[in-house]
Amino acid sequence: MFNDNKLIILGSTGSIGKSTLEVIKHNKDSFEVICLTADSSSVALAEQINLFKPKYAYLNNFLLIDDLKSRITHNQTIVITDINQLHDILKSDIYNTLVSAMSGSTGLLLTFLALQSNKKVLLANKESLVMAGDLFSKYRKQIIPIDSEHNAIFQVIGNLNCEEISKITLTASGGPFRAYPRSKFEQITVEMALKHPNWSMGRKITIDSATMMNKCLEIIEAYYLFNLKSDQIDVLVHPESIIHSIVNYKDGSSLCQFSEPNMQIPISYALGYPNRINSGVGSFDLSSIENLNFSKVDHDKFPSINYAYKALDGSGNSCLVINAANELAVNAFLERQISFLSIFSIIEDSFSITLNSMITSIEEILDADIMYRQKINQIIIKYLIN
């Protein structure tokens, strides 16, 4: 029997979506997949539909709808083609848990609809929290973070009063360029930046790890998730990615969560919470590793960490602006239109964009995001290669 765990997975063909379905395979009787969505991976989505038999499926790229339908053998799945239908499903009572695993800003409205409809949201899409932190923090109790660092903190904090915490420390692998000389950053290619040493992830987050903008976004994510002050959030480079974050308490004790660097572990914790379920991954064997290394972030190489504090200490809209600037700059880099170093320059320049006054609704955030992106595109023009 299903344990009333009726799931919608946004971004089911991405790295987090696939890992989520892998955990569900290990706990088949506990979860029912209601709806799967993907951007354009029609082949992978069809395979998932045939295996998990959801009531609904949504593919964003309508040019591939016929291809998707031709691959589906489970004919009881309704393939929806209108985003408004997906909105209605997210507002309905046919599910109780959303796994928000889309990449980038596209997840914002969809995730918000689930929160507004009183659903549990397992959040991997950190960009939506960065864009709409004040709004999302009103729904904090409905959110369980999947992001490995934040999930680690969530596992440690439990129900303890946050006033007992002096600081949290997000660990960072340092990405592929941790030990690469700053003098050679100008030569970094797309291929080099896409090779992450520890995690297998989508293209956008892999570039974010290479610039350490991922950790910048994660500082902002932690600020809103755990209701902390910005100076209570620190970052420590830990290349092995075994300790996923640390909570420092006022009495001098520090607690951490550690495991294999495998996203099935934080996902299974979020899916099973408050219970623990089979993630499909074994315990980490401490005797299998000789050393765990830790070091401070090199801010000259990775100015990105400081963007988080600058944005959090500025107006709330600064987080929205730097998220948009990063997303557009990463796209331009992946399209080989700008250099790796220009990603930093574009984000730095974007801080100068005149900010609107208070933004309070999701509609205002989406409108402001469009306006900021137009201005950021003007900045990007200055950095185009040739």
DSSP-derived 3-state class of residue 178: coil
Q: How far is the CB of 147 from Mg ion (least distance, A)?
A: 4
Nearer to Mg ion, 77 or 148 (CB): 148
Bridge-based pairing state of the strands 243-249 and 165-172? antiparallel
| Binding string, residues 128-147; x marks residues near Mg ion by CB under 5 A | -------------------x
Q: Give the HSE-up count for residue 216: Cα atoms under 13 Å, Cβ half-sphere.
A: 32
Q: How far is the CB of 133 from Mg ion (least distance, A)?
A: 17
Q: Which residue is nearest to Mg ion (CB)?
A: 147
Residues between 251 and 270 with contacts to Mg ion, criterion CB under 5 A: none
What is the amino acid identity at position 124? A
Residues between 146 and 185 with contacts to Mg ion, criterion CB under 5 A: 147-149
Q: In what order do the strands lie in the sheet with 32-38?
A: 78-80, 56-59, 32-38, 6-10, 97-100, 120-123, 143-145
Nearer to Mg ion, 48 or 245 (CB): 245
Nearer to Mg ion, 48 or 264 (CB): 264
Rounded Cα gap, residues 283 and 257, in angstroms: 12
Q: How far is the CB of 219 from Mg ion (least distance, A)?
A: 11
Nearer to Mg ion, 201 or 368 (CB): 201
Nearer to Mg ion, 127 or 149 (CB): 149
Q: How far is the CB of 224 from Mg ion (least distance, A)?
A: 15
* 263 in Cβ contact with 146 (< 8 Å): yes
DSSP-derived 3-state class of residue 78: strand
| Binding string, residues 88-127; x marks residues near Mg ion by CB under 5 A | ----------------------------------------
Q: How far is the CB of 125 from Mg ion (least distance, A)?
A: 12
* 100 in Cβ contact with 94 (< 8 Å): no
Nearer to Mg ion, 15 or 339 (CB): 15
Residue 349 in the binding site for Mg ion (CB under 5 A): no
Residues 6+ away with beta carbon under 8 Å from 268? 23, 26, 27, 276, 277, 278, 279, 280
Q: How far is CA 284 from CA 22, 258, 260, 350, in A?
A: 19, 8, 6, 42
Contacts to Mg ion by CB under 5 A: 147-149
